[in-house]
Each structure stands twice: as C-alpha cells, then as structure tokens.
A and B are shown apart, each in its own frame.
Chain A
Amino acid sequence: MRALLLRDLRLALRSGGGAGLGLAFFLIVVMLIPFGIGPDTALLARVAPGVLWVAALLACLLSLDRLFQADAEDGSLDIIALSPLPLEGAVLIKALAHWMTTGLPLIVAAPVLGITLNLPSGGYGWLIASLAAGTPALSALGAFAASLTVGLRRGGLLLSLLVLPLYIPTLIFGARCASVAANGQDALPAFLILAGLSLGTLALAPFAAAAALRSQLR
C-alpha cells in the first residue's frame, strides 16, 4: 500500500506529472471572477466562499482523467489488480495520492485567495475546515468516475459530465459551511453534515470504482 502511494506521489510530482497545474488553474479561475462580476468588494465578499468552492471543485477535475488512464495504458493497472492488495484498497490509495497532490495544495492556497476576494475574517477557519473535510470526497468520487471512463477516447470530457453532478451535495454543504461562517453564524451543523457526507463517500466510492475497474479489465 505504501509502495503504491509513494509511487503515485512520485509520478505526480516529477516533471510532466502536472501536480502544480490544478493549483495554477485554481488561481486563474478565482482571478477571473472579479473581471466577470466587477471589483465591488462588498459583492466579492458575499460570493467569495461559493467562488472558492466551485473553483476548487473544477481544479480537482483537471488531473482526474489521468488517475487510471496512464496505468491502464502501460499495463500497471493489471499488475495492481493481480497484486494481493484488494482493488478497493488500491482505488482508495490512488484517490489519496490524488488528494495529496491536488486537494491539499488547494486547502493551503484557498485562504490566500480568500484575502484577494475580501472574504470576511470569520470565514477563514471554516473555509479551511470545510475544504479539508470535503475535498477527500471529491477525489474519491473522481476516482469512481475515472474508473468508468478508463480507455475511452475523449474520456476526459465524459468524465466531467459524469462527476460534476455527483459533486453537488458536497458543494452545497461545503460552500454553505464557509458562507454561514463568513456571515458570523454557527457553521457547525453544515460542517457536520459535510463531514458525514464525505466519510460516507470515502467508505462507499472505492467499492463502486473497484467494481467498474473489474468490469474494465475483464
């Protein structure tokens, strides 16, 4: 398990892995918002939690199509499937590696970008907390959608169509948690629902993804 995790992390971090791309994309999307809606700071402060969440969600998408694709092309996916590690475990590890290279940098960058959007000071702690609780679920659901589209031409496009609707509940509670906190209200209920949703997803998504991968390899 550790070997697989380290291998995936190394592949992502070396040149051509594209780990920094998601972060750069996140920055650009957030930067585009003020151009789109105007530089009014009060308005920006109001939309900041939602914008940061939507941008994080889109940035997560970028590297998903490579999650199993590269392994399927060079045959290492077959080896992983034959190894004593259950396929569910392998999926979870790969989702974890994806989260560490995509989700984690986003969590670190989000407060900084929050400053540029004039996010009210109460929102920062809960923004970080909600992203930390929600982004693992995004990676796990992404692994599921990636397992459905392995080996398809134009799989990346189809993948975004499949995965974005699945992100809706996470997005609703994540953004709500951050925006409620930014308004100075109690964000704990939204956070707890988000955390429950995220844990449930983490527990179940690997099984669905492994079932899809088995059908792909048959």
Chain B
Amino acid sequence: MSFWEFANPARFMRLSGRILPWLVALAVLSLGGGLIWGFFLTPDADQFGSTVKIIYIHVPSAFLAINIYFMMFVTSLIWLIRRHHVSALAAKAAAPIGAAMTLVALVTGALWGQPMWGTWWVWDPRLTSFLIMFVFYLGYLALWAAIEEPDKAADLTSILALVGSLFAVLSRYAVNFWNQGLHQGASLSMDAEENVSDVFWQPLVLSIIGFFALFLVLLLIGTRTEIRSRRLRAMLMQEAN
C-alpha cells in the first residue's frame, strides 16, 4: 500500500472521520493540561513576573504559524506535481488557521512587549518578518476567494504559495540587514546549551503538542468541509444539466 492512497478523497474521508474524535480528545487534554499547568502551577520568573506565562500561547502559535506555511508549501507542491485534490484542499483549509496563528503570535507578543520592552511594537527582524508572513497569508486567502473555477484557483494559489515561500524566506534574512533585533533567541532548541528552565519548558512542550493537535483537528474538519462542498457542487451541476 502506498502513501498516495490517502489522496483518494473517499478513503481520506473514512480515515479522517475515524481519527478525528481521538485527535479532539488529544487536543483538549494536552491543550487544557498544558495551559492550566503553565498558568497556575508554575512559579513567576525572576525578571519577568507573571508576564512570562504568555509564553504558553505565544511560542506555540508562532511555531505553528511558520510550520503551517511550510505545510502549505509542501501540499501545494504535491498538488502541482501529482494533482491530488485532497492536497490542494488541505492547503486551502490550512491558510486561515495559519493566518489566525500568526495574528495570535503578533498580538500576544505585543501584549508582552508593552510591559517588558516598554513598547507595543518595534521594527525588529522577527516581528517584521511575522508581519510580512501575515500579509502573505492574506494574499493567498484573497486569491482563493477571487477565483471561481476550483481547479484553476488551486493551480494559481499553489504557484503563489511556492513563490511566496521563497520570498518569505528571503525577506526573513533581508530584514536582518535592515535592523538589529530586540527579540530574544529561540526559546526551545535541541542543541542549545541553555534553554528556558525546566519548570517552564515542560508545560510549554505540552501546550505546543496541544496547539499542534488543535491545528490537526481544525485542518481535518476544514478539509472534510471542502471535500463535501466540492461534492455538493458536482451534484448541483449534475442536476442542472
């Protein structure tokens, strides 16, 4: 059995219908657990006070915002090469979630930045490239909304996603030249000597898992809705003929 068999919409619907309840349970448990643990059961940090707790929303949403963009890149590529409809529809369903995550990361960052940096917004490379990514999401969504023919829309948005990813990465490095950063380095990484201390990162990892499960739930629901509306459209067209 090859991986590509999941590209069959009927098969995808069966399988996704079966795993969806489990994913919902996972999302509720890990998200609820991570956030409650993080908000109520961890101490305040030395220099930051209780503002540190926004990390449990800020870091997972920023993490997802980037990864959803990458996922759209991959699914768009699959659509252009192998023309599996599920792939194109998954990219379409992912975009609004990604845009929302980017917005959440920007807003929570601003809320944290006000007391800590003394300003809501600075034109720092990380902040700026997130804003740029948000604009890319908006353009992608607008292009989907503007084209009526489904296959043409999938083609054009996929090409836009490919070119857009290239330029999002370019912009990410270009802004480094243009301003120095105020944002701290990565909060979690495998190879760093010093991460955020243990009390903080355990609930953080749990809430990242929770956000990720939440994304998968929303993605599956969104994709299933797209497939159903595509079927509905086909049925209506048949009836009209």
Known: A148-B143, A162-B160. A172 touches B167 (CB 8 A): no
Which one of B139, B147, B156, B177 lies within 8 Å of A165 (CB-CB)? B139
Chain B interface size band reads: 20 to 34
Do the beta carbons of A212 and B132 come within 8 Å of each other? no
Q: How many residues of A contact B (CB 8 A)?
A: 27
The reply on A216 being an interface residue by CB < 8 A is yes
Q: Mark A166-206, 1 if CB is under 8 A from B, else 0.
A: 10110011001000000000000010010001000000010
Contact of A208 among B136, B138, B143, B162 (CB under 8 A): B162
Q: Smallest CB–CB gap between A88 and chain B, Å?
A: 14
Cβ of B153 to closest chain A Cβ, rounded Å? 10
A144:B163 contact, CB within 8 angstroms: yes
- The prevalent SS among residues of B at the interface is helix
With a cutoff of 8 Å between Cβ atoms, the chain B residues found around residue A218 in the complex are 152
Q: Known: A161-B139, A161-B142, A215-B155. Contact between A173 and B177, CB under 8 A?
A: yes
Whole-angstrom CA separation of A166 from B160 in the bound complex: 10
Segment among B53-61, B92-100, B168-176, B226-234 that sits at the interface with chain A: B168-176
Inter-subunit contact B163/A168 (CB<8 Å) = no
Chain B 113-143 residues near chain A, CB threshold 8 A? 132, 135-136, 138-139, 142-143
Taking a contact as CB atoms under 8 Å apart, the answer to whether B178 and A165 are in contact is no
Chain A residues with CB under 8 Å of B136's CB are 165
Is B24 among interface residues, defined by CB-CB distance under 8 A? no
| A158 contacts partner chain B, Cβ-Cβ < 8 Å | yes
Q: How far is the CB of A132 from chain B (nearest CB, A)?
A: 20
| A77 interface hit (Cβ, 8 Å) | no
B144-172 toward A: CB 8 Å interface, digit per residue (1/0)?
A: 00110000100110011011100100110
Enumerate 22 A-B pairs (CB-CB under 8 Å) in ascending A order.
A144-B163, A148-B159, A155-B146, A161-B138, A162-B142, A165-B132, A165-B136, A165-B164, A166-B163, A168-B171, A169-B170, A169-B171, A172-B171, A172-B174, A172-B175, A172-B178, A173-B177, A190-B177, A205-B163, A208-B162, A208-B163, A216-B152
Beyond A155-B146, A172-B174, A193-B177, 10 additional contacts (C-beta under 8 Å) are A148-B143, A158-B143, A161-B135, A168-B171, A169-B167, A169-B174, A205-B163, A211-B159, A215-B152, A215-B159
Interface residues of B (CB under 8 A from A): 132, 135-136, 138-139, 142-143, 146-147, 152, 155-156, 159-160, 162-164, 167, 170-171, 174-175, 177-178
